C-alpha cells in the first residue's frame, strides 16, 4: 500500500473511526467470522432515574481506543502474558436498531443481534443501554444449553411487575431466573436500598439465587466468590457498571455508594474466566452525560478488554475456562 | 406567625422548596382553585437523539425561583406594568406519574392531569418532557370547543408513522392536526433538515398548516406572524425550546442552529396573548444535562413567566386576549 | 381519589416536587407533627475558598428522591431490616430565610428553625450551607440537657477569632466547645494542613476534644471510635461532607485528600446511633457546582437516609440509642 | 539576561503567571507608578442567587493572557490603530483582602485599594466580585471632583434597603446616587423582572437617572446612547457582565435573557471613551463556575482590554476623552 | 438481508458507528469511489492557547449523525429542495496518521490523504485539527490548476515566522499565499486583536488579500461578499470555527467575541457554492473539551452538511458552481 | 504599611495572584535565592491521547493557594510537626517558554530553567506539562553527581523509538536510563496495558530497573518499597499524576484504573524523603480540562506541599534525607 495506511500507522488512540478496540466493523450480520462479536444495544427507556445509557456504546467504543494501539496484543507485566494477540478475532457488529417509544421492538432487535453472533459461533459481547437489554440477550439463548448467570451489580433487579412493567431495568434478573436455560444466578455487589423490596429478595432466594453484598464479597475474596459458582458450568456474565463505586463509575443512571473498586471485580472476572466457559457478556448502564472525565467509559473499556483477554487466554492454555464447545 | 415565615421572609431565590415560581403545591387534583395550574410531564422516551427531558420540570421549577422574589408582582419598566400581581392565582400540581417502558400509560397520566386542570377552570401549563407529551395534552381537550395550535419549534414534528411509532416526539403536530377540535396550525421557526421528510410538509400544508421558518418569521415581524393566526380564535401554544438558537437554549435533545433569539419569541407571544384567548400552554424539550450554565432552564422559566404575565394582563385590561369564557 | 394520585403512583425518582425524600412540606413551623424535621440552611458566606453550599439543600433534596420510591420503607438485605417504615414521620420544613451580607440575621433565622423543630419534639436535621450553620444549630439547644458533639470532618474548625471573624466556617467547633450544654467533642477525620494552626489543636485538647485522623480512626475501627464517646450520652452529629475522600465527595468547598470512604462513616454512624440517643444532626458543605456527576449529593442523601434509618430503628428495638426522652 | 527570559520569549498565552494581561504585579500599593492599576475585588457575599464571583478576578486575569502575546500592542485592522503600546503603563495590584462573614471590612479593604490607585494618579480598574463592590469603589472618590456614572447592566440595582441590607448587589446604584460627588447616572441594558420594584424605578428617575432597556438602547444606537451623557463630563463606568446576553456571558450569578451582544457594548464604550474622561472602571459579576467554556471570562477580558485601549488612545489623540486632568 | 440492517432500520441518530453522516468507511485509500471524501486531520500541536482539536474529527462525526437519519436526502422547506440525495456518493476515509512531537511527519500524512482523495476525483473535505492542517491540505494541490482561497476565520493567520515556527496555526494563510497555485485570498470575519501584527496585515494586502471584518461583511451582505471573489474561479474554502460567535461555537481553542452567526456564514457559503466550483474544504479548530453542550460540533456538522448539499446541488442544476471539471 | 497589605492580610485562598503557594515570583532566573524553585513546563505535544497538560502549571498553582493561608507554616496533628515554616525559602520561577510545533526548542527552554535553579543551589521542582518534560529535566543534571530516579506512574514510559519519536511522553524513562548520571530506576505503580510492549519491559529490567505494580507495592508497604532504593543515594522523583487512581486524579491524559490512593503515595514519599537527599522533583500530566471538580489539581498541590515539607523537615532534623551537600 503506497499510502502506508495498513502497514505503518502509529495509530494513536485519538485517531480513526471508533469501533470497539478499532476492530473491523461487520455490517452484514450474516457474514460474521470472529471469536467475539461486539454489539451495541443503545436502549435506555427502561431507566427509573437518569437516562442517557443510549450513548453508552459510543462512549465505550471511544474509550476502548485508548487500549488499542500497539500491534502485538497487550502485555501485562504482572501476569507476564500478552493478551489478545492476533490470533483472537474480534469484530464490531455496530448497534441493534432502536425504536423509540417501543420497548418490545427494540428488545427484539437486540435479540436478533445476539442470535446472529451465536449463529456465527462468536462470543456475544453486548454494550448497553440500560440493564433491561439483558432481557433480550438472555432470550436469544433459547434452545442453547443451560448456563449460570453471574450478575455484578448494585441492585438486585428482581422485580416481577409493577404498574404493568416487566421489561424495565429493575426486572432483568427476575426474567432470567424464569428461563429454563438459566440454571442459577449469583448476584454480587448488591447493597443498600434498592427498587427491589423484601419480597423480591425472598423470591430470588427461593429461585436459587446466591446474593452477596460488596462487604460480603470482599470478606470471601475474589477466589472465594468465584468458588461459589457451580464448578465448570458455563457462565453468562452481566455487569452493571453501577456495581462499582461512584468514585470510579459516576457515569451511570443510578449510582450507589459503597461499590466495588477495580481489582475487586477484575480478580473475580479473572477467576471466573479461568474456571468457566464464558458464553455471553453484557456490560450495561454506562451513561456518558454523567461522566465528565471519561472515567466510567474508560473503566468499562478496560474491564471488557481485560475480561476478553482472560477468556481467550483460558482457551489458549486449556482448562475449564477454555472449553469453548458451547459455541 | 411567630416564626415570621409567611410575613417577613426576604426569600432569596436560592432558598426554599422548588415549586414553580414558589407557588403553592396542590397534590390533590380534585382541589385545584387557581387561574393557572402548572403540571410537570417528565416523559422523554419519545426522543430520537439525546434524552434527559425527564428532568425538564425540575430544572424549570428551580430556574423559576430566580423570578419569584419580591411580593408585589413583577414590574416591567419598558411596559410600565406590574405583572402577575396577587390577584393571579397560580398553583403547581406536581408531575404526572410516568411508567417507564410504557408510553401509553405515561401519556394517559399526563392527559389526566390536564383534564383535572381544565375541570377546575384553570389554564393548563405543562412543562415537558419531550414533545410527545403534547399528544396527551391535546387529547385532554376532547369535548371542548375548537382552538388553533401555535407551535414554535425548530422541527415540523409532522411524521405520521415510522416503524410503528405514532407517539414519539416527531409525531405530535400530525396527531394534533387529526383532531376535530384543532381548527388549524401555525408552525413557526421550522428550519433546516428535519426528521420530517418532504411528504410530511406536503401533508401539513394539505391539512391547513401555515409553516414559517425563522427567517420568514423575522421578515414578517412578530406582529406580522401573529396577524396570520385566525382573528380572535382561542389558541393553544406549544413551545419547543429548540425553536430558540442553541446560543441561549443548548440544553435540549436536538438543537438546531439558526433559531430564534429571545425577543423574537417574546414579542410574538405578547402579540398572540393580547389578541387571542390562550387556552393551553406546553413548553417542552428542556434537557438540563446539556445545560451546564442553566441558561436554557432560565430561558424557559423567563418565557413562561412573561407569557403568563401577558395572558393575565390581557384579562385585566379586557380585549380579545382577555376572553376567558373558554374555561 | 378518581385521579389515583395518592393511591396508585409508581412515583419514579425523577417525578414530583423535591422535598427531602418526597416527604410532606410543612410551611407553618408551629404545626410540625413529626419524628424528624428537615431544615435547609442555605448560608455559605462563611466559606474561605469555594462558595456554593447555598445550593446544598436543593441538591440533597433532589438526590434524596433516588432513595424515595417504594411504599414500604427501605429493605436492607445485609441487615435483613426494613428501615424508615410508615411509622416514622418525617417532614420537610423548607429553608431558613437567609439575609445576604448579614451573617448574624441569617444565623438567627437558622436557630429559629431548629428551635421550632425542638419545640415540636422532632429530631432536627439540618442541611447546610457551610459549616458555620452549625453555630446557630448548637445555640438553639440553649436550655436543653447537655449532649456530646460528634464531628466528622477533614478540618478541626476550632479557630477562635481572626480579623474579627468568629462565625465563619472555621469557627464552629470552638463555638460549640464554649457552650455549657456541650459536654464534650469527638472530632474524627481531621487531617492534613488546615486553617486551624497548632494553637487551635492545643486549645481543643485543653477543652476536652478527642481528635482522630482518618488513619487513626481506621486503626481503631468504627466500633472502636464509637466506643470512645461517653457511654449512653446523647449525641449531636455534625457531618462535614469533606470528611469523605474527594473521590466520592468532590462537590464541596475545601476538599481534602485522604478522607473517609463510605463504609468508614456508615458503620461509625450505625454504631453511634445504636448506643446513643441522637439529639440533632447537621450535614454541611455540599456544593453542587463542584459536583458535576451528582455523586456528592447522592452520598449526602444516602448517608442521611441511612442515619435516620438507624436512629429510628434503635428506637423500635429499644436500647441506648432508642432513648428519646431527650425530646 | 543570559537565560533570555525578558528579551526573547515567544510567551504563548498559556505560559506564565496570570497577572492581568501579564503586566507587572505591584504588591506595595505605595509604589504604584502606572497609567492604569488593576485591582481584584473577590467579594461575593452580596449575591442573591448564584455565588462564585469571588473567582472572577482569577478567571479574568487568566483569560486576559489570551490577549497579551505580541510585543508591540494590539493592532486593530478595522480602526487601523495599534492600541496599548508600550507607552501605556498598566500594573496589577493583586486583590483587596476579603474578610468572610464581614461585608463592611471587605468593602473597606476594596476602598483602600481604589484610594491607593487614585493617590498614584492611576486609573482604577476593579474586577469583581459581585456588584456590591461598586459601593466602596464609588466611596473611594470621596473628596474628588464630581463625575457621572454609566452603568451597563441587566438590573437597576437601586434597592434602598430590605431586611436591613444596604450593601448587597442590589443596592449599589442607590448608594452611588446618594453621593454628592456623583452628578448623575445613565443606566443602560435594564430589562425584564428585577429585584428592584416599581418604587425603585421611581426613586431612580427622581434622583435623575436615565434608564434605558436593551431595545431602547439599540433603537438609539451606541452613538445615540453616548450622546445622552452630559457632554464632556468625567465618567465612571460600572459594567455588570450580566448586561450581556447569556449566550456570550452565561458565567454570572443572575443571568437575564435579552441582553446586549458584543458590538452593542463595545461601540458604546468606544463612543463614551472618545468624548469623556474615564475616571474609573469596574467590571463585576463574572462567576467562572457557571462558565464552562470560558466564554464569559474571555468576554470580560476582551472588553476591558478594548476599553483601556480606547481610553488611552483618546489621550494620545487629544479631544474630550483624553482629558486626564482629573487625576 | 435477513437481519434487515440495510433495508429496514429506523437508524436513530444515537445508534451505530460514527462515520461522517453514517457514510461508508473506506480504509483503503486506493479504492475511493466517491464524489466527496471526508478526512480527519486530528493534529493540534500547532495551537497557541487551548489544545484539544485532535478530538475535532470524532466530535464532528458524532454530531453529524444527528443529520443523517431518513433515507431520501434532506428536505429543506425554505428552498423546497431535497439535498444530498442518493446520487451523491460520500465516503469517510478515517484519519490521517498523527506522529506526536513531529509536525512535519503529521503534516505529510495529512497531505497524503488529500492527495488520495484528489487522485480519486473526490472533493476533499478535511476536518481538523487546528488550522495548521490547512498547510498540508493546500500543499496537496501542487500541480493542480490554480484556485482562490476563501478563509472564514476570526484571525488572519498570516504570520510568516516567529521563533522558527512556520507551520503553526498562526501561519497557514501566509503559507497558502506563497503557493503559485493559489491565485488569491479572501479573508472574512477577521476581527479584534490577533496574533498577527500590523506587518502581517500589510503583507497580506500586498500579496493580494481582501480582508473583511464581521461588521464589514455584514454591511456588504452575503451576496456582496461573495461577489468580491473573482468570478467563476475555483474556490478552496477553509473555515475556522472561531469565525463564529462564541455563543454558538465556544468549543474552540481561541474564541473571539463578535463573530458570525449561523445565517451569516450559511448564506455566504451558499452564494459561493452557487457561483464557483468548490475544489476543497477544510473545517478546523473544533475542540470538544470546551463544548460541553455539543453546540460547536453540531454547528460544524450542520454547516458541512449544508455546504456539501449546496455544492452538489449546484452540480445538479448546472451553472458556475456546478463545473466539476477541476477533478 | 498604611494599606496593611503585608502585615495584616487574612489572605483567604481565593484572593491574590496565583504563584505556587503564593510564594514570590522571580522573573530574573539569575537572581534566584531560594531553597526550592518552582518551574512550570507547560508542554503537552508529547501526549498520545488527551492533551491539555499545558494548563497543568496554572491549575496546580491555583490549587496550591488552598494550602497557603496562615502565616506560620502548616501544622500536622498526626506528626505533631509544623512544616514549611518561614525558614524555608520557596520561589516561583514562572514557566519555561514553549514553542508550539517545536519539541526540541521547548525542551531546551525547560532544561535552561532547571539549570538556573541548580546553579542557584535551589531544589528544582517542575510542574508539567506531559511526561516528556522529564527528558530535559534529567538532561539539566549533566555534569552533576549521579542519582537514582524514583518514578511513580501508571505507565513504564520506556519506549525507545517509534516512527522516529524519541521525546514523547512514552519515552522519558528510557531516555533517563541512558544517562551516565542516572545510577538506576525504581518504577512504581506500573499496571495494565501500556504503550510499552514486552520488549520495553525487558529492556528496562536489563538496564537495571526495579518495576513494581500497585498491588506489588501495596504488598510491600510504603516502607518496603522505599527500602528497595539504594541506601542513602540521592534521588530524583518524577511523579506522573496518573499513578493515582482515576477516582482522585481523573484530570489527566491517559488515566488508568487500579491506581494508588493518597496515603499509598504520601507515605512512600515521606519514607524516601526521610532517607534520601531529594535532588529534583517533577510532577506531570495534570490536565485541568478533564478535572471538572478540581480534585486532580488539589491532589497535585497537596502532594507537592507535603513532599516539600518532608524534604525540608528532613534537613532540619538531620539524617540521610537532610544531606543537602548535593547542591
- B128 touching C, CB under 8 A? no
What is the distance between the alpha carbons of residues E52 and E43, in angstroms, rounded to a whole number? 9
Does the pLDDT of residue F6 top 60, yes or no?
A: no
User: Dmax of chain F from CA atoms?
Assistant: 66
In whole angstroms, what is the distance from residue A227 CA to residue A222 CA? 9
User: Closest approach of chain D CAs to the CA of B256, in angstroms?
Assistant: 15
Cα Rg, chain F, nearest whole Å: 18
Helices and strands counted in chain D (H then E)? 9, 10
Torsion sign across C-alpha atoms E226, E229, E234, E237: negative
> What is the maximum alpha-carbon separation in chain B?
66
Least CB–CB distance from A14: residue in E18, E42, E116:
E42
Chain F, nearest residue to C165 by Cα? F10
Contact F14 D54 (CB under 8 A): yes
pLDDT digits (tens, 9 = 90+) for D140-151: 999 999 999 999
Over residues F228-270, the pLDDT tens digits come to 999 989 999 999 999 999 999 999 999 999 999 999 999 999 9
Set of cell numbers at residue A89: 478475532
| Contact predicate F55/F251, CB 8 Å | no
Judged by CB atoms closer than 8 Å, whether chains meet at D15 and F116 is answered as no
Task: List the one residue out of D77, D295, D59 whose CA is nearest residue E153.
Answer: D77
- Whether E9 sits inside 8 A of A97 (CB atoms) is yes
Cis peptide preceding B160, ω within 30 of 0: no
> Please, what is the average pLDDT of chain F?
93
User: The cell 464609588 sits on which residue?
Assistant: D138
Q: Is the ipTM value over 0.95, yes or no?
A: yes
Among candidate residues D115, D111, D113, D114, the one with its CA nearest the CA of residue D103 = D111
Residue C203: which of C228, C166, C167, C178 has the closest Cα?
Answer: C178
| CB nearest to B197's CB, from E75, E298, E306 | E75
Q: Residue C25: which of B4, B10, B17 has the nearest Cβ?
A: B17
Query: Alpha-carbon distance F148 to F136, whole Å?
Result: 16
Is the four-CA dihedral F19, F23, F28, F29 of positive or negative sign?
A: negative
Q: Do A216 and C78 touch (CB under 8 A)?
A: yes
Distance in Å, alpha carbon of F101 to nearest chain E alpha carbon: 5
pLDDT at B4: 43
Nearest CA-CA partner of E145 in E107, E179, E187:
E179
**Average pLDDT of span E130-139:** 98
Average pLDDT, chain B: 93
How far apart are the C-alpha atoms of F65 and F21, rounded to whole Å? Answer: 5
Query: How far apart are alpha carbons D209 and B209 in whole angstroms?
Result: 48
A127's grid cell: 454494550
Which whole number is the average pLDDT over C8-14?
A: 91
pLDDT at A218 over 90: yes
Q: Is E102 annotated as a binding residue?
A: no
DSSP code at position B25: B
Q: Quick one: DSSP state of residue D23?
A: P
Considering only the beta carbons, identify the residue of A45, A50, A51 that sits closest to B101.
Answer: A45
- Across the interface, which of F49, F156, F291 has its CB nearest the CB of A66? F49
Strands (E), E177-242: 182-188, 210-212, 235-240
Tell me the per-residue pLDDT of C132-166, one tens digit each, with 9 for 90 and over: 999 999 999 999 999 999 999 999 999 999 999 99
* Residue E216 CB coordination number (10 Å): 17
Are F77 and C213 within 8 A, CB to CB?
yes
pLDDT in tens, A47-64: 999 999 999 999 999 999
In a mutational test of the E interface, the residue from B168, B250, B251 whose CB has the highest number of chain E CBs within 10 Å is B250
In this complex, do C48 and D167 lie within 8 Å of one another by their Cβ atoms? no
Q: What would the mean pLDDT of D267-294 be, rounded to a whole number? A: 97
DSSP 3-state assignment of A37?
Answer: strand
What residues of C are in contact with residue D42 (Cβ under 8 Å)? none
State whether residue E213 sits within 8 Å of chain D by CB: yes
Name the residue among F17, F96, F97 with its Cβ closest to that of D25. F17
- Kindly list the partner chains of chain A, i.e. chains with 3 or more CB atom pairs below 8 Å: B, C, E, F
Q: Which residue does chain D place closest to B65, by CA atoms?
A: D49
| Cα B216–chain centre separation | 22
Cβ-based contacts of B247 with chain D (< 8 Å): 245, 247-248
Q: For residue B71, what pLDDT is reported?
A: 58
From start to end of chain F, where are the E strands?
36-41, 74-76, 81-83, 90-95, 123-128, 147-152, 182-188, 210-212, 235-240, 278-284
Residue E152, exposed/middle/buried by CB under 10 A (0-12, 13-18, 19+)? buried
* All domains of chain B in start order, with CATH: 26-322 (3.40.800.10)
From chain E, the residues in CB contact with A55 under 8 A are 14
**Is B3 annotated as a binding-site member?**
no
Contact D14 F55 (CB under 8 A): yes
Quick: pLDDT tens for A73-119. Answer: 889 999 999 999 989 999 999 999 999 999 999 999 999 999 999 99
**Strand-pair category, D81-83 with D90-95:** unpaired
**Chain B nearest C-alpha distance from C25 (Å):** 8
pLDDT, residue A324, reads 65
pLDDT at C272 over 50: yes
Strand order across the F147-152 sheet: F90-95, F36-41, F123-128, F278-284, F235-240, F147-152, F182-188, F210-212
A31-56 b/e (C-beta count within 10 Å ≥ 16 → b) = ebebbbbbbbbbbbbbbbbbbbbbbb
Beta strands in A182-297 (DSSP E): 182-188, 210-212, 235-240, 278-284
* pLDDT-derived band at E94, boundaries 50, 70, 90: very high
D87 is in an annotated binding site: no
With CB atoms and an 8 Å threshold, state whether A40 touches E99.
no
For residue A155, what is the enclosing H or E element? none
Cα separation, E312 vs A194, whole angstroms: 56
Helix (H) or strand (E) segment spanning residue F324: none
* Neighboring chain B residues of A168 at a CB cutoff of 8 Å: 100-101
Tell me the C-alpha distance between D180 and F50, whole Å: 57
| DSSP3 helix / strand / coil % (chain B, rounded to 5) | 40, 20, 45
**Which pLDDT band holds residue E195 (cuts at 50, 70, 90)?**
low
All three cell numbers of F33: 535565592
Q: Is pLDDT of B88 > 80?
A: yes
Res C245: pLDDT? 98
Q: Can you tell me whether residue C262 is helix, strand or coil?
A: helix
Instruction: Output the furthest CA–CA distance in chain D (Å, rounded).
Output: 66
B313 labelled ligand-binding? no
**In 10 A of CB E59, how many CB atoms?**
25
pLDDT of residue A76: 92
Q: What is the CA radius of gyration of chain A?
A: 18
Residue D5 confidence (pLDDT): 41
If contacts are CB pairs under 8 Å, which of residues 46-65 in chain C contact chain F? 48-50
Matching residue, cell 530524583: F236
Check CB contact of B245 with chain D, cutoff 8 Å: yes
Q: List, for residues F153-163, the tens digit of each pLDDT value.
A: 999 999 999 99
The kind and range of the H/E element at B135 are helix B134-139
The three-class DSSP label of residue D111 is helix
Longest Cα pair distance anywhere in chain E, in angstroms? 66
Phi, psi dihedrals of residue E267, rounded to the nearest 5°: -70, -30
For D184-223, the DSSP string reads: EEEEES--SS-SS-HHHHHHHHHTT-EEE-HHHHHHHHHH
Q: Do A14 and E100 touch (CB under 8 A)?
A: no
F118: nearest Cα among F30, F182, F184: F30
Confidence check: pLDDT of D180 > 80: yes
- The confidence score (pLDDT) of residue A188 equals 98
Are F165 and E101 in contact (CB < 8 Å)?
yes
List of chain B residues whose C-beta atoms are within 8 Å of the C-beta of residue E82: 198
Q: What is the mean pLDDT of residues A14-21?
A: 96
Inter-chain touch D27–F6, beta carbons under 8 Å: yes
Residue B190 clears pLDDT 70, i.e. is over it = yes
- From the candidates A18, A60, A63, A77, which should be mutated to test the interface with F, based on the most F CB atoms within 10 A? A77
Are D40 and F15 within 8 A, CB to CB? yes
pLDDT at A195: 63
Specify the residue for cell string 522505599. Answer: F226
Mean pLDDT of chain C: 93
Do the Cβ atoms of F255 and A294 come within 8 Å?
yes
Q: Which residue is associated with the grid cell 502548616?
A: F74
Chains that touch F (3 or more CB pairs under 8 A): A, C, D, E
The 10 Å Cβ neighbour count of residue A206 is 9
Amino acid at each position: 500500500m503506497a499510502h502506508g495506511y495498513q502497514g505503518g500507522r502509529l495509530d494513536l488512540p485519538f485517531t480513526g473511526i471508533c469501533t470497539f478496540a478499532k476492530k473491523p466493523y461487520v455490517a452484514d450480520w450474516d457474514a460474521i467470522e470472529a471469536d467475539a462479536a461486539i454489539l451495541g444495544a443503545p436502549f435506555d427507556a427502561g431507566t427509573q432515574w437518569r437516562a442517557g445509557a443510549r450513548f453508552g456504546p459510543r462512549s465505550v467504543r471511544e474509550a476502548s481506543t485508548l487500549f488499542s494501539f500497539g500491534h502485538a496484543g497487550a502485555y501485562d507485566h504482572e501476569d507476564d502474558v500478552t493478551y489478545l494477540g492476533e490470533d483472537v478475532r474480534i469484530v464490531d457488529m455496530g448497534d441493534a436498531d432502536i425504536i423509540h417509544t417501543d420497548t418490545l421492538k427494540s428488545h427484539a432487535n437486540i435479540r436478533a443481534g445476539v442470535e446472529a453472533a451465536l449463529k456465527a459461533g462468536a462470543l456475544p459481547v453486548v454494550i448497553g443501554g440500560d440493564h433491561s437489554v439483558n432481557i433480550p440477550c438472555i432470550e436469544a439463548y433459547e434452545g442453547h444449553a443451560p448456563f449460570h448467570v453471574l450478575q455484578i451489580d448494585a441492585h438486585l433487579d428482581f422485580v416481577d411487575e409493577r404498574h404493568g412493567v416487566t421489561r424495565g431495568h429493575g426486572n432483568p434478573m427476575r426474567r432470567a431466573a424464569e428461563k429454563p436455560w438459566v440454571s442459577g444466578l449469583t448476584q454480587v455487589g448488591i447493597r443498600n436500598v434498592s427498587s427491589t423490596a423484601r419480597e423480591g429478595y425472598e423470591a430470588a432466594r427461593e429461585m436459587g439465587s446466591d446474593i452477596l453484598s460488596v462487604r460480603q464479597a470482599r470478606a470471601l475474596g475474589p477466589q472465594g466468590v468465584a468458588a461459589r459458582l457451580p464448578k465448570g458450568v458455563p457462565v453468562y456474565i452481566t455487569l452493571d457498571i453501577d456495581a462499582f463505586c461512584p468514585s470510579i463509575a459516576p457515569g451511570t443512571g443510578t449510582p450507589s455508594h459503597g461499590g466495588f473498586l477495580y481489582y475487586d471485580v477484575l480478580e473475580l472476572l479473572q477467576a471466573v474466566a479461568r474456571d468457566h466457559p464464558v458464553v455471553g457478556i453484557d456490560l450495561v448502564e454506562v451513561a456518558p452525560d454523567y461522566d465528565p472525565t471519561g472515567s466510567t467509559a474508560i473503566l468499562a473499556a478496560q474491564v471488557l478488554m481485560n475480561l476478553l483477554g482472560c477468556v481467550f487466554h483460558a482457551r489458549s492454555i486449556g482448562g475449564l475456562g477454555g472449553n469453548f464447545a458451547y459455541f
